Chains A and B, each alone.
Chain A
Amino acid sequence: EAQVTQNPRYLITVTGKKLTVTCSQNMNHEYMSWYRQDPGLGLRQIYYSMNVEVTDKGDVPEGYKVSRKEKRNFPLILESPSPNQTSLYFCASSLYLGNTEAFFGQGTRLTVV
């Protein structure tokens, strides 16, 4: 089954404690991205990757890091989480960047206290 898998689904952590949210896709997609969803703000792109070892900032990259060492995986790293990073996070992949649909993971609900 074609899917994007995120882990964990729910996470509560403390300020400053490094964490990683994993994302994996099984569709051999080139393009992957991370979004955060906040009330009244919709989905905002954090980082994206056009292919292995090619990443770039989206609209809200501050406080986040990513890596793309393999085509299927695109982890999101919060080196020193802060309460303003409490949000619902989605990983997405698509065949390429452009006129094509994206497939989303089920989301990770992160709370930073």
Chain B
Amino acid sequence: DQQVKQNSPSLSVQEGRISILNCDYTNSMFDYFLWYKKYPAEGPTFLISISSIKDKNEDGRFTVFLNKSAKHLSLHIVPSQPGDSAVYFCAASATGNQFYFGTGTSLTVIP
């Protein structure tokens, strides 16, 4: 049973526009969420995180939004750049427990 879901396998966006990647979760005990970015032939690398006590966290061009009532989080990339083309995984955990990962969204930023 997939506790973290990314329903869009792929997304294409024009360079300079906003990219919005979505993630839904089912476990109400999850209190920490992360986004990872993965390039081909490399391991995932940490991008940004958010605790359940917040509803927004921003780091440069990347912003993560958390809607606890809807059990939904999203990653906004503004402006999108060709180098952002990668697979993005969201992950969630309950304190002191393992992380559960989504299936990933492949983002393509078109120059």
How many chain B residues have a CB neighbour from A under 8 Å? 27
Q: Using Cβ atoms and an 8 Å threshold, which residues of chain B touch A99?
A: 31-32, 49, 51, 93, 95
A residues sitting closer than 8 Å to B (CB atoms) are 4, 33, 35, 40-45, 48, 58, 90, 92, 97-99, 101-107
B residues sitting closer than 8 Å to A (CB atoms) are 2, 4, 6, 31-32, 34, 36, 41-46, 49, 51, 89, 91, 93, 95-99, 101-104
Question: In the complex the two chains form, is B98's CB within 8 Å of A106's CB?
Answer: no
Least CB distance from B26 to A in Å reads 14
Count of inter-chain pairs, beta carbons less than 8 A: 56
Question: In the complex the two chains form, is B43's CB within 8 Å of A105's CB?
Answer: yes
Q: Using Cβ atoms and an 8 Å threshold, which residues of chain A touch B41?
A: 106-107
Least CB distance from B40 to A in Å reads 10
**What are 22 A-B residue pairs whose CB atoms fall within 8 Å in the complex?**
A4-B43, A35-B101, A40-B103, A42-B6, A42-B89, A42-B102, A42-B104, A44-B101, A90-B43, A97-B98, A98-B32, A98-B93, A98-B97, A99-B32, A99-B49, A99-B51, A101-B34, A101-B49, A102-B46, A102-B99, A104-B36, A106-B43
